[in-house]
Chain A
């Protein structure tokens, strides 16, 4: 006699114990520390903070370790933990022109006030595996050019903005909406679009940004400026009524300069695409800027034909926590629905065969 499968609870517990064991790896080898992840896998930490929407290096490092290096899983852990945090309010807007810059480049100008600062970058490295790097002795620290630190660094786009060559950065007419407090609704304003893109999956935005370069929603971009460094964060506590600095965060900002044809009312002018991330997520910030610009097609009265220009398509599918959940939910049992389909298919086939027989008789 058949006995229905039982013991789901036990099986789950056992599976989770096994996962823990796998995660730990060979117990003879020391466990990787959160500090090591924070220090040596810092770009992974940056990505998890950006897409997890929570600036906390330590939590992000813990999440990465717990997720066995699966960054989407780590982002998911951060998001879930974020849900339980109390909310005090909103910071005042950060001022990126006052950034303590570690890297700042422009592809649009050879030189500009403040200069080009390469900072820590993979650019121009030869991608050759460094065999034996793990045994190398620590190198002497790189000397900092002290003069660079307090050089004024106006944003490149502000420099050409003074001449009227680029549209002004759009001033938000009202309080921005908050994607984490209100469900996304369409058509979404640029405030919600940018929020959604910051949290959006790096790979998805990269592919979409790339597609605009290949002609699917072309916008002729120039990397006006990419800067990475530290900005201070301020907050106005209700009981104090004035602004206090509560700390600082590392961010990457990318401002793209894009072509614009102009119209009868507006003389030709460059337009903007904007990207921002926690830490040093340059690829993400650049992709985001391309997609932001592509999504402004309607506002700029451009033809909307490409996926990257389609707000509902992009925003509905950018979130990797949502996407991975729904794709992976196909692993959940669907026997009931599958049974319904089986029953229907058998019936239809029976009837079809009946018809064939009738026809043959």
Chain B
């Protein structure tokens, strides 16, 4: 029996009494890529933070289906369980790779860290896996001992992705993963992401203001405005035939470009 991997149930988050996101509900199924789109201030990043437990929702809950088949409310997990989930079952790709990488250590160590965190104690194997992952994100083998400080923005982002995927997480959160990059670099990264998501069968929740990113990566889309979900559906459907006036505006503004 298939069950949703993650279910958001009436997530509301207030800051200083001001609504950041309000009564958001949806289900994410295994292998699904959900794009949350909207302009800045629409509440999409707050929603992502609530879902990934970086901030506690003011109301509502997030249900998650663990590897052992249990479904739990994330807020009920102990800190230890939560941290374990974060370094094994989940990935989080930040817009700014510096937030997701350990800038002081080499690329190899960045990729290897999660393996060591779950108990891998064989240097050769760690290094082998790191090399393999660097190749998969198109980083040359001889850059493995370099610090990400000496990487370009695009390389850093690819390294961050490798660091997240090395423990084969089931769910990856992405916050504007192509945000800070040049257009040509963006295209290459999107291509890479699409390939990885497909071959690994990842479930992804991706936050973006860029409909092109949503179109290329996602299967389903959730449009947010002023903290509320105003439209949701299959990506192709929503983009071909937007119902809400705001979505229509978003779609048309992209098409004009």
Chain A contacts to B: CB under 8 angstroms: 263-265, 301
Query: When chains A and B are docked, how far (Å) is the Cα of A301 from the Cα of B16?
Result: 10
On chain A, the residues within 8 Å of B17 by CB distance are: 263-265
Identify the closest chain B residue to A266 (Cβ): B16
In the assembled complex, the Cα of A264 lies from the Cα of B17 at a distance in Å of: 6
Q: Does B122 contact A (CB under 8 A)?
A: no
Q: Which residues between 1 and 52 of chain B lie within 8 Å of chain A, taking CB atoms?
A: 16-18
Going nearest first, the 8 A-B pairs with the smallest beta carbon separation are A264-B17, A264-B16, A263-B16, A265-B17, A264-B18, A265-B16, A263-B17, A301-B16
Within the assembled complex, what's the spacing in Å between the Cα atoms of A265 and B18?
A: 11
Residues of A with C-beta under 8 A to B16: 263-265, 301
| Least distance between A361 CB and chain B CB atoms (Å) | 23
Task: Provide the bound-state CA to CA distance between A263 and B18, in Å.
Answer: 10
Interface size in chain B (residues, C-beta < 8 A): 3
For B18, the chain A residues whose CB sits under 8 A away are: 264
- A264 to B, closest residue via Cβ: B17
CB distance from A265 to the nearest CB of B (A): 6
B134 to chain A, nearest CB (A): 24
Q: A64 CA to B111 CA in the complex, in Å?
A: 57
| A246–B16 alpha-carbon span in the complex (Å) | 48
Would you give 8 A-B contacts (Cβ < 8 Å), ordered by A?
A: A263-B16, A263-B17, A264-B16, A264-B17, A264-B18, A265-B16, A265-B17, A301-B16
Chain B residues with CB under 8 Å of A301's CB are 16
Residues of B contacting A265 with CB < 8 Å? 16-17
Q: Could you tell me the distance in whole angstroms from the C-beta of B14 to the nearest C-beta in chain A?
A: 9
Most B CB contacts (10 A, CB to CB) among A264, A265, A301 go to A264
- Which residue of chain A has the shortest Cβ distance to B18 in the bound complex? A264
In the bound complex, how far is the Cα of B126 from the Cα of A102, in angstroms? 70
Residues from chain B with a CB closer than 8 A to the CB of A264 are 16-18
In Å, the complex CA distance between A319 and B137 comes to 49
B169 to chain A: closest CB distance in Å? 30
- Chain B 131-155 interface residues, beta-carbon cutoff 8 Å to A: none
Instruction: Give, as a whole number of angstroms, the nearest-CB distance from A187 to chain B.
Output: 16
Query: In the bound complex, what is the Cα–Cα distance between A264 and B16 (angstroms)?
Result: 6
A301 to B18 Cα, complex, angstroms: 15
Q: Smallest distance from the beta carbon of A264 to chain B beta carbons, Å?
A: 3
User: Nearest Cβ in chain A — how far from B220, in angstroms?
Assistant: 35
Docked pose: A8 CA to B244 CA in angstroms: 87
A352–chain B nearest beta-carbon distance, Å:
15
Within 8 A of A (CB), among B142-179: none
**A262 nearest CB neighbor, chain B only:** B16
Chain B residue at minimum C-beta to C-beta distance from A265: B17
How far is the CB of B227 from the nearest CB of chain A, in Å? 15
State which residues 116-135 of B face A: CB under 8 Å: none
Q: How far is the CA of A263 from the CA of B16 in the complex (A)?
A: 6
| Complex Cα–Cα for A264 and B19 (A) | 12
Name 5 extra pairs, CB < 8 A, besides A263-B17, A264-B16, A265-B16.
A263-B16, A264-B17, A264-B18, A265-B17, A301-B16
Q: Using CB atoms, name the residue of chain A closest to B14.
A: A264
**How far is A318 from B16 in the complex, measured between Cα atoms in Å?**
34
How far is B18's CA from A264's CA once the two chains are assembled, in angstroms? 8
Bound-complex Cα distance A265 to B14 (A): 13
Q: Across the interface, name the chain A residue whose C-beta is closest to B17.
A: A264
Cβ distance A269 to chain B, nearest Cβ, rounded Å: 15
In the bound complex, CA of A345 to CA of B18 (Å): 59
Q: Once the chains are docked, how many angstroms separate the CA of A39 from the CA of B87?
A: 64
Q: In the assembled complex, how far is the CB of residue A283 from the closest CB belonging to chain B, in whole angstroms?
A: 37
Bound CA span A301–B17, Å: 13
Distance between Cα atoms of A263 and B17 in the complex (Å): 9
Nearest-Cβ distance from residue A168 to partner chain B, whole angstroms: 21
CA distance A263 to B15 in the complex (A): 10
